[in-house]
Amino acid sequence: MTERTTERQDVYTRVTSRIIADLEQGVRPWHRPWNAGHTEGRITRPLRHNFTPYRGINILLLWAESMANGYRANVWMTYRQAQALGAHVRKGEHGSLVVYADTFNKTGVNDKGEEVAEAIPFMKGYTVFNVDQIEGLADTYLPAAPPPESRLALIEQAERFCAATGATIRHAGNMAYYAPSTDVIVLPVPEAFRDAESYAATKAHELCHWTAHPSRLDRTLGKRFGDDAYAAEELIAEMGSAFLCADLGITPETRDDHASYLDHWLKVLKADRRAIFTAASHAQRAAEFLHGLQPGADRAEAPKDEAA
């Protein structure tokens, strides 16, 4: 086994073990920031030193680290990035794991003696620090509560986002679900929800399911997850919805009807340490697909910083 393969497997193990530990405590890492009473402004996606957002599995890792350590800020950077900004990590501080995934080209010879190029995937872990752990940074990196905004404006933003997707959404009954056979999202009437944020967050969850349709992302999970494919799809939709809620400034809905999936998720994650990476990658693609349907959306290729 090569050193590169060993490192990749170790990263999978470290990340999956962290997620399993949270789930065994009944905590869904993608909901923890809101459940823990974070008070320093609204929760957003974790940001790099250049203020671009992290993606996929790294969102879960840094949300969990932020809440476990009480960090007030959502900006992270490496030791060297802090130095380049004229700052320094405080002595005794411990960093947090994030991962980087990409491919490199390797030239070989096939059975016919022809030279061929092969794309080899790789993944590595590296360490970042929250700006709360760093001294000497400019004020632009320091946490500050955002100006107050009206609740109505926040919900209007979410409604515009959902409407721009073009999904067919109907209101009926007392259950929220996506029906693949008719390609329709069904929700209870808004007045049936605890508040407007719960309604918008539930709609975001069902929109993530909607992206799985063959005409969109064509997400099929049977080969990877087998009998647990349905639970895996719910895991993807939960994380995708949490990512969207962070982007839109909405508190995600913790649905009681999903508590039964915890045992299924633990079973899948313990059997396959790469499963959480796959689920987070699918969730990221779902969120990006929905963002890509917005007016004036930038459809440029996203950075390759998370493992599939």
- Return the closest-CA partner of residue 47 out of 66, 28, 67: 66
pLDDT in tens, 252-294: 766 555 556 677 788 888 888 888 999 999 999 999 999 999 9
Helix, coil or strand: residue 121 = strand
Judge whether 272 and 180 are in contact, CB under 8 Å: no
Sheet of 96-109: strands edge to edge?
76-77, 115-130, 96-109
What residues contact 18, with CB distance under 8 A and at least 6 apart?
A: 61, 64
| Angle of helix 275-292 versus helix 57-69 axis, rounded to 10 | 100
What pLDDT was estimated at residue 60? 87
What is d(CA 240, CA 280) in angstroms, rounded to the nearest whole number?
A: 8
Tell me which residue of 177, 200, 198 sits closest to 187, measured CA to CA.
177
Which parts of the chain have pLDDT scores under 70? 1-9, 25-29, 31-43, 143-154, 253-261, 298-308
Look at the pTM and tell me if it is higher than 0.85: no
How far is Cα 69 from Cα 48, in angstroms, rounded to an integer? 18
pLDDT at 37: 40
- Neighbouring CB atoms inside 10 A of 1's CB total 6
